[in-house]
Amino acid sequence: MADISGPKFDLKEIQKVSDIQTIYAECGNTFFLHYHLKNSGMKKHINTLLDEGVVYVGASAGSICAGKTSAMALWKGWDDPTVVPGDFTVRKAFCVSSVKDMSLAWVASGMR
């Protein structure tokens, strides 16, 4: 298990782990998580792992970031998008490229 919860982590260290089977993304502010996944380079790495068959599981913000957009986080004022620069309300966190991957994102978010 690799914990990358801190603001600074070495992506190269994560890439050295060859037996990743599951990625778990925790809850929190969706826009904060989305911003840091993109700017850290982790988004691209997660997409590569998904293409290799790794399972992605997310809780709350972690599952919203795997969806088509982050707009759901605005529903009922759940998350404040102004915590990060830029507009992350309609951008994809993960480029879900197949029906199989999309169904994994839906299962992670409790949607079917």
C-beta of residue 58 within 8 angstroms of C-beta of residue 109: yes
- Say if residues 72 and 66 touch (Cβ distance below 8 Å): no
58 pLDDT more than 80: yes
- Sort 23 into a burial class: Cβ within 10 Å, 0-12 / 13-18 / 19+: buried
Structure tokens at 54: 């790794």
Q: pLDDT tens, 18-49?
A: 678 888 888 899 988 888 888 888 888 888 88
Residue spans per domain, the chain: 22-109
- Gyration radius of the chain's alpha carbons: 13
